[in-house]
Structure 1
């Protein structure tokens, strides 16, 4: 068995090593090594002298020896922590990992807290995947840099390909909204996708509950809420009856009426709990006093207060006992959670009614 590269490949790689390499990747299907330099891309057609997989191992060993000073190739033990953001590597070491043409090394860079906008650009050139785009957009330095728009545009384009992958939709929409680089038109485009798959709505409720696209009309009796200082019920009613509040509740009802997977239910109920936090965080005695004061001034809001009491009592923990006993999804899951979800939907219907 030949343990050496062909003289032609060894010569070409040594020439590359004398340039300012930024990243390296290998196209195994065409047996081509690609290198990124300040002058652009360079390619090296490989000429195997043995079985392709063994030959590529030799190539990667040579790359690793140059970049990491490790003649045995990319350290296998690194794969244990690359996906756990525990590398603790410096920016210089991350740059070296992008020169070994190993996917796990790229993933280590993507997960690292030391990632920079420049390194994100090189890592993206090495491995442009949805997962890597999501991970890198979670870094503020990337969102605020030149790669923010590039990654967001990629995710918008590929969101349609997630089809029925609700977890993928949840994660993708969340990182795009978190990035802050979306235009108003792009936000509306993503929001409209909720018409066909309501999991697109969930991240909006979690991250931008008071800035939802296409807000609905306010309830006409919003002006009838009495102005009571430091009264959490009157403050929460003002929020609920506003256009944004009505949109939040309508969207929550749309999701809970037909969720497809358990994660969508959990995220939606927790988003609802966070939205109701100003009232949830008040102790029962204070809530009772505030409720009495409000109803003394405006008794017509009693059904709304009762509905609010229903909403503030729920979160993901409400359905946890059910989900601990089943892995059901779709229609079977909806039947199992109906006793927990129906009161929420009924309360939302009360809060969305026009007097």
Structure 2
């Protein structure tokens, strides 16, 4: 049960603010006015603070959405599906529920008008990084001043990201256009030499524009089938992928690296297959069909057939992690790395 004083102050906040967030740790409700000034209410629970916060959120929902049952269940289902209508967006940012903010951030109807309110609502919440990643998938956000604010936060948050998929995704998103400085990109690249998950973000996002910190040069480009491989950027890409595979100890790093490799070297006559020996046979057959006899071209054709299909079944069946991935998949990884070594060696 809310105190009469808190009830009154919350109603004033509802009437005067365009966005509201609830700080469950500080037991406070913060509102943002039309002219971007913050108003803070420090709550005064007499009993269980968790129940009190729920009572606050129930009041906000009932006053703003007219729902007495708390955050509408259908919005929970739709939060990450982008199906929240444009008419609801602003209202959802006033109910103090972070799932509602996620719903707005992921809405197909998100626009400039509410973007800054979404990021304000996300601030100092457990879901701030998740919401930031949602927002940076939108082209208009990248070009908006808020985009750089989000990027700055995610860059600062990155060292505290333990989830490998989130680390890759965040790096990938930060590398868009000029969201972060060249110096910050260079630091991420250098960190990737020790922590390959960063590099996966680079090879996914920066194909054709990878950093050349090792003075890598193009190889002989006279062979048509090897033009992509032998270019300066092709050499950097393959060297980077080889570096990632040498240190592989995490399944998602492997899955996404193989997907990039197969896509980068894709060939109209090559299919992606689920068995490395079939990939090798396919490469030999295509080489013969092309009327060629060149080990480098065969290696390039082999790599065109790789994807996560080569490893996902084995990893799932044996619940592989860490160094066990390299050991159990040595036949696959050694074949791929041998091809990469051949393609990055001047002959």
TM-score (norm 1): 0.84
Look up the SS of the partner of 1:84 in the other structure.
coil
Task: Please list, as runs of the form range in 1=range in 2, the aligned pairs for 1:191-206 lying within 5 A after superposition.
Answer: 191-206=189-204
Measured after TM superposition, the shift of residue 290 of structure 1 is 4.0
- Measured after TM superposition, the shift of residue 77 of structure 1 is 4.1
Conserved? CA contact 1:236–1:279, under 8 Å: no
Q: Distance in 2 between matches of 1:349 and 1:50?
A: 66
Q: 1:171-208: per-residue Cα shift (whole Å, max 9, x none)?
A: 11122234652333332221111111011111222222
1:277 and 2:273 matched: no
The DSSP-based 3-state class of the residue aligned with 1:26 is strand
Q: Tell me the distance in 1 between the aligned counterparts of 2:43 and 2:258.
A: 54
- 2:276 corresponding residue in structure 1: none
Distance (whole Å) between structure 2 residues aligned to residue 60 and residue 33 of structure 1? 10
1:9 aligns with 6
Distance 2:324 2:228 in 1: 34
Label 1:42 to 1:350 Cα distance change in 2 as closer, same or farther (>3 A). Answer: same
- Partners of 1:279 and 1:253 in 2: CA distance: 24
What is the DSSP-based 3-state SS (H/G/I as helix, E as strand, rest coil) of the residue aligned with 1:324?
A: helix
Structure 1 residue 17, shift from structure 2 partner: 3.1
How far does residue 96 in structure 1 lie from its aligned partner after superposition? Answer: 0.5
1:287 to 1:306, Cα distance in 2 relative to 1, 3 A: closer
Q: 1:248 aligns with which of 215, 237, 252?
A: 237
Please identify the structure whose Cα radius of gyration is greater. 1
The answer to whether the 8 A contact 1:117-1:146 is kept is no
Q: Report the secondary structure of 2:141's partner residue.
A: helix
User: In 2, Cα distance between the equivalents of 1:219 and 1:26?
Assistant: 56
Q: Contact 1:269 / 1:314 at 8 angstroms: preserved in 2?
A: yes
2:330 alignment partner, SS class: helix
- Distance 1:280-1:245 versus aligned 2 partners, 3 A rule: farther
| Equivalent residue, structure 2, for 1:27 | 23
Over 3 Å counting, the alpha-carbon distance change for 1:55 and 1:214 in structure 2 is same
Other-structure match for 1:171: 169
Q: Secondary structure at the match of 1:248?
A: helix
Q: Could you give the per-residue CA deviations for residues 253-308 of structure 1, whole angstroms, max 9, x where no partner exists?
A: 1111121211111111110111112455599887645453xx6xxxxxx2312222
Q: Contact (CA 8 Å) 1:280, 1:312: kept in 2 or not? A: no
Q: Is the 8 A contact 1:239 1:245 kept in 2?
A: yes
Q: Is the 8 A contact 2:61 2:68 kept in 1?
A: yes
Could you say what secondary structure the match of 1:43 adopts? strand
Q: Distance in 1 between matches of 2:103 and 2:219?
A: 54
Partner of 2:131: 132
Mapped pair 1:335 → 2:327: yes
Structure-2 residue corresponding to 1:182: 180
CA distance in structure 2 between the partners assigned to 1:184 and 1:279 by the alignment: 36
- Post-superposition offset of 1:34: 0.7
Listed as ranges, the gaps of 5+ residues in structure 2 are 272-281
CA distance in 2, matches of 1:236, 1:207: 24
Bigger proportion of residues as helix: 1
Is the contact made by 2:20 and 2:121 (CA closer than 8 Å) also made in structure 1?
A: yes
Alignment partner of 1:307 out of 299, 302, 307: 299
Following the alignment from structure 2 to structure 1, what is the Cα–Cα distance between the partners of residues 269 and 239?
20
TM-score (norm 2): 0.86
Residue pair 1:217, 1:242 contacting (<8 A) in 2 also: no
- Residue 298 of structure 1 aligns with which residue? none
> What's the RMSD between the two structures over aligned residues?
2.4
| Shift in alpha-carbon separation, 1:143–1:83, aligned structure 2, 3 A | same
Alpha-carbon displacement from aligned partner over 1:100-133 (angstroms, at most 9, x marks no partner): 1112211211221112234232222222321111
- 1:117-157, Cα deviation, whole Å (9 max, x unpaired): 34232222222321111111111221121211111111111
Asked if residue 321 in structure 1 is aligned to residue 316 in structure 2, the reply is: no
1:1-355 paired onto structure 2 within 5 Å? 3=1, 5-19=2-16, 21-39=17-35, 40-85=37-82, 87-90=83-86, 92-128=87-123, 129-162=128-161, 164-178=162-176, 181-214=179-212, 216-222=215-221, 225=222, 234-278=223-267, 280=269, 288=288, 290-292=290-292, 302-355=294-347
